[in-house]
Chain A
Amino acid sequence: MGFEHHRWSRRTSLAAAALLVFANVAAAQEADLARAWDGRPDLNGIWQAIGTAHWDIQDHAAAAGLPEMGAIGAIPPGQGVVEGNEIPYQDWALEQKQRNFENRFTEDPEIKCYMPGVPRATYLPYPFQIIQGDDTILIVYGFAETSRTIHMNKENPEPAPIDSWMGRSHGRWDGDTLVVDVAGFNGQSWFDRAGNFASNTLRVEERYTPLGPNAMMYEATIEDPNVFTRPWTMRMPLYRRLEENVQILEFKCVEFSEELIYGHLRREPAD
């Protein structure tokens, strides 16, 4: 229940923060958590991350974006969501990340309206809806028509039938925490608009822990032996969207990406 301490004890400077979050979790469990028919936390509803992790999961100062967009296009500053703020890239991978960063306004899968992968789908600036049934949990994301089935009924996680953008998800309950193992990725996803990335050997362990009826803590531990020197973790709260009648709206973004992807193939290119 709650977070696993061994991951937190790597750095003593984090120990206090760990205890603090743990205390919050404990407090939430005493409060009235919404419960599903089976006594598990009821995660049904529309959720969204707040913050700037979608720009950069690490600490980042404000910066210019696309100049023609003025201040609207500027990149807002933000505190990172990565534990210790360090992503333990292997040397080659750090160079690749830097190349990704330089080419981010043309190469980012998000700018091309591609499915965002995991965990990026969670903290894109769009809401997502959890449909929690009996043996399946479905997450429907507000970006690029993406959805993801979390299989709750498989004793032994089956390998993914094919590699995919969103991977194959197997879930289980660890007390009040929904733990989801995700693998079978195609290796083309980024983690943010700053070019952080992984390969097709990525495995993600997600933990969704209710902090009360309207918030939960989201943790994603990233493991990819071909890209990183050790597993690492990002963590951020998710908030329930409380607006009356809020619903996931269509964001069929393909048409907004066509000029970027196919513009040079027009009979009369814009340039």
Chain B
Amino acid sequence: MNTRHAALTSLAIAVSMAAAPNPTRAADYHHVHLAVPSPTEAVAWYVRHMECEAIPDRADAVDCGVEIHFDALVTVGASPGTGVNHIGFAFPDLADKMAELERVGVGGRGVRLQRFDDGSTFRDVPGLFAHGFIFDPWGTRIELLEDPSRSGFHHVHLSSTEPEATLDWYQSVMGGERARFGEELDGLMYDNVWLLVSPHPEGAPPAPTRGRAVDHIGFLVADLDEAAGVMSQAGIAFEGEPEAGRTSARRAFVAGPDSVALAVVEPGWAGRETTLLATDAGPAVPLEPYTAPRTPWGAPDLQGIWTGDRAHGIPLERPGDLEGVEALTPEEAAARRERGTLGSIWGYEREWRDTTLGLVGSSPSTQVAMVIDPPDGRLPPLTPEAQARMSGGGRGRGGLPAGPEDLSNYVRCITRGLPGLMMPGIYNNGLQIVQGPGHVAITKEMIHETRIVPTEPRPRLGENLTQWLGDSRGRWEGDTLVVEVRGFNGRAPYRGSGETLTLIERYTRIGPDILEYRFTVDDPSTWTRPWTAMFTFDKDDSQYELVEYACHEGNYGMTNILTGARARERAGEDEER
């Protein structure tokens, strides 16, 4: 689990509105700024689902009545929990809109609906409007409300420890007109778009917006120098010098109440040229061969906490459309990893994903595929025997599991098998290596499995004593730990592998903080030739600690899956009657 807080993507919403040169008002909404890994994808999402309009010549912004700007930044979490809880959009027919979003589904770059306790996606606020909440795929919470008279960007909803003082602050610094929204909510009106404030829940103060899904809110002023003068009278100073973007219009930042970042921009502000801001430049692979340090007893020292987070998203086999491509661009790599997490943990909260993958200090790997031999990056053909073996099975009866045995070893929390357990996943990618004289212990955080590898010659287990993870025997070849694993029980196959699998792993520290993991899969009963794959782990002792992944102990999923299967069977029987 990570303890470092590094921002990975930042989605900026730019609310762009006509400047309202009201002399009593210092500013107006200009934009909301959101953090996303791929601005292009975010533009497409807001155009498709929020009915915003693309802006000509701007790949990183949309016009929703207020502009939303997207920055390719590293995000550290969703908008709730910060001083900007959510943004609001109005639609003329909410039932219709919600039904449309529900059909989109949450998979991929979908829509995450936030249901009310009764399971509904929207409900009436008496005397006011119908509303519901969704999340965009990158963690911005969005309130949808019904307003037959209008559509588009409706409000920014702040979360404040002192709502009244916060409204006063915005009014004195940014202008706006006080008004009451509905019966209870006080707010400010900026040319038909609301700034609303609710009390922040007690406990922790609002987290800073910078780096979160809603990175900051932008206000428009006629002239930054003039605004600086007005603000200084209120004791507010710009953070840093104003800077120009794509145009000569300038932007400066000020700190709002509740750690909300605010941008102040001049007319014509059209964002900066954005580049992917990764937190590091990728693994520092030394040009010279690296000699690993030695343990006090003289073995190459591989010890420490490593993570496979960087490698998450690399497919095992080279995708057909990437033939001949040497490496992805950093933006393609970031988008690939994001797709991987969205596709695989769509049922989890964004916060969860961000505190697992999003917070890692490593930029996503640009490696195209793991398989390096055969050179085309594709697995060799299956043997006829393996094809026959893999075509059998199936659960029958609508695919519902009759009992735990019908579910995967992973879902049962038994094992991820080999080499499966070494593979980077959606979270808990920690790998701890501890060495003692003559032994290397390799612990994988997910789903807590430890392999003990003897590095001095010793006989193998007897043929009749097979294990899920086989029997590992290690040796040092120079700085490389070579582990040969045999004696599998065949119950945890990898891509169809069987009992005849011999797995040869090579662990080489190719730099102080990078561990190359190369493995050769040799199973003549399954593939027509051996194949080899490779990816790397990054050393991360300073902030990463393996936590106890008590998988079986907390396997509510199993109970729920089986309970659900029985309920569906009963429902089906009722229907038959």
Contact = CB atoms under 8 A, between A and B. Distances in A.
Contacts of B565: 267
Nearest to A255: B414
A262 interface: yes
Contacts of B545: 161
A136 B434 contact: yes
Contact of A250 (B458, B467, B546): B467
A114 B553 contact: yes
Contacts of A115: 548, 550, 553
Interface stretch (A61-69, A207-215, A241-249): A241-249
A134 B439 CA distance: 13
B387 interface: no
Interface in A220-271: 245, 247-250, 252, 254-255, 257-258, 262-263, 265-268
Contacts of B468: 250, 252
Contacts, number: 126
A138 interface: yes
B547 A162 contact: yes
B450 interface: yes
B404 A267 contact: no
Interface string B446-482: 0011101010001101000101110000000000000
A244 to B, nearest CB: 9
Interface stretch (A86-94, A97-105, A125-133): A125-133
Given A44-B439, A161-B1, A252 B415 contact: yes
Given A132-B436, A161-B3, A262-B558, A37 B297 contact: yes
Contact of A145 (B303, B435, B438, B448): B448
A166 interface: yes
Binding site of A, secondary structure by majority: helix, strand, loop or mixed?
A: loop
A145 B444 CA distance: 11
Contacts of B384: none
Contacts of A144: 552
Contacts of B548: 115, 162, 164-166
B569 A267 contact: yes
Output the residue of B1, B3, B437, B563 with the most chain A CB within 10 A.
Answer: B437
A144 B558 CA distance: 18
Given A114-B552, A136-B303, A149-B546, A255 B3 contact: no
B295 A265 contact: no
B268 interface: no
A252 to B, nearest CB: 5
A144 B441 CA distance: 16
Nearest to A249: B467
B566 interface: yes
A133 B3 contact: no
A267 B402 contact: yes
Contacts of A149: 432, 434, 546
Chain A interface size, as a band, is 35 or more
Given A245-B459, A265-B563, A147 B443 contact: yes
B552 A267 contact: no
Nearest to B558: A262
Nearest to A250: B467
A257 B566 CA distance: 20
A30 interface: no
B441 A131 contact: yes
B452 A266 contact: no
B454 A247 contact: yes
B21 interface: no
A42, A114, A161, A252, most chain B CB atoms within 10 A: A252
B412 interface: yes
A247 B472 CA distance: 11
Interface centre among A42, A115, A138 (most CB of B within 10 A): A138
Contacts of B303: 133-134, 136
B127 interface: no
Nearest to B564: A265
A178 interface: no
A32 interface: no
Given A131-B439, A147-B450, A267-B397, 16 more contacts: A44-B436, A44-B437, A129-B439, A129-B452, A133-B435, A140-B450, A248-B452, A249-B461, A254-B552, A255-B412, A258-B403, A258-B412, A263-B403, A265-B562, A266-B562, A267-B566
Interface of A: 36-38, 42, 44, 109, 112-115, 129-134, 136-138, 140, 144-147, 149, 161-162, 164-166, 188, 245, 247-250, 252, 254-255, 257-258, 262-263, 265-268
20 contacts: A37-B437, A44-B437, A44-B439, A115-B553, A133-B435, A137-B434, A138-B441, A140-B450, A149-B434, A161-B545, A161-B547, A165-B553, A245-B458, A250-B468, A250-B469, A252-B415, A254-B412, A254-B413, A262-B559, A267-B400
Closest 6 CB pairs of A and B: A265-B562, A164-B548, A267-B402, A138-B434, A37-B296, A131-B436
